[in-house]
Chain A
Amino acid sequence: GESVGLHLPTLSVQEGDNSIINCAYSNSASDYFIWYKQESGKGPQFIIDIRSNMDKRQGQRVTVLLNKTVKHLSLQIAATQPGDSAVYFCADRGGKLIFGQGTELSVKP
C-alpha cells in the first residue's frame, strides 16, 4: 500500500540556521505532495505543496524539493525561527491523504 516516511523523528537546530526535513514515499504513481506543520494542541496546517511535474517549489522561507527517481522529498526552512518549532509531516495527496510519522523540529535560541 501507499506509505510515506520521514527519516528523522527529531531535529534540533540553532535559531538562524537552515533546517532540512526529509521524507520518502513508496508509491511511484504519487503525483502530489503536501507539507504540513502541526503545533502543539492544533491541527496540521498547510505549508507548501508540490506536484510531480516540478522538482522544486519555493515559498516564504520554505523550499520543497522533489526527487522522483529515488522517491524522496525534502522541506528546507531558511533562517529557522523559534516559531518554526513544531512537528512537520509530509503527506501523499492522491485520492486519499496519507501522512508520514512526522519530524519534531526544535529551535534553540
Chain B
Amino acid sequence: EAGVAQSPRYKIIEKRQSVAFWCNPISGHATLYWYQQILGQGPKLLIQFQNNGVVDDSQLPKDRFSAERLKGVDSTLKIQPAKLEDSAVYLCASSPSRQNTEAFFGQGTRLTVV
C-alpha cells in the first residue's frame, strides 16, 4: 500500500514570497490533515478535511494560509505572503475516517523562510 506522498521535500524562499505544498493521501482515505511542526515542538493541526469539505480550520492563519482539497483526493496548502516564523515542517496525514482510526503521515516538507 502506497503511503502519503508530499512534495516538495524542501523549500527555501524569501519572506513575502508565496509557496505551495502538495499532498496525495492514501487511496480511499476520507480524512486529510495538514500540520505545522516548528523545530522542537509537536505537530500543530492547521486544517482538517473530510472528503472535500473543511471540518476544522480554527488554527489556520487565514490571512496568509489557504488550503483546498479538490475532488476529495489531493490537497494543496499555500502560504502568501510568507513570514520568517512560517519556517517549519509541514506534515500531511490521512485516515480512513475522522476518528477511531490510525492516521498515516507523509515525510513532510521542510520550509525555510529567509
A binding-site residues for B, Cβ under 8 Å? 32, 34, 36, 41-46, 49, 51, 89, 93-102
B binding-site residues for A, Cβ under 8 Å? 4, 33, 35, 41-45, 48, 55-56, 91, 93, 95, 98-108
- A101 proximity list for chain B (CB < 8 A): 41-42
20 additional A-B pairs beyond A32-B99, A93-B100, A93-B101, beta carbons within 8 Å, are A32-B100, A34-B102, A34-B103, A41-B107, A43-B105, A43-B107, A44-B91, A44-B105, A45-B105, A46-B103, A89-B43, A93-B103, A94-B99, A95-B98, A96-B45, A96-B48, A97-B33, A97-B93, A97-B95, A101-B42
- B55 proximity list for chain A (CB < 8 A): 95
Bound-state CA distance A108–B55 (Å) is 43
**Quick one: given A43-B107, A96-B48, are A102 and B41 in contact (CB under 8 Å)?**
yes
Bound-state CA distance A101–B105 (Å) is 17
- A46 proximity list for chain B (CB < 8 A): 102-104
5 closest A-B pairs by CB: A43-B105, A99-B42, A101-B42, A99-B43, A44-B105
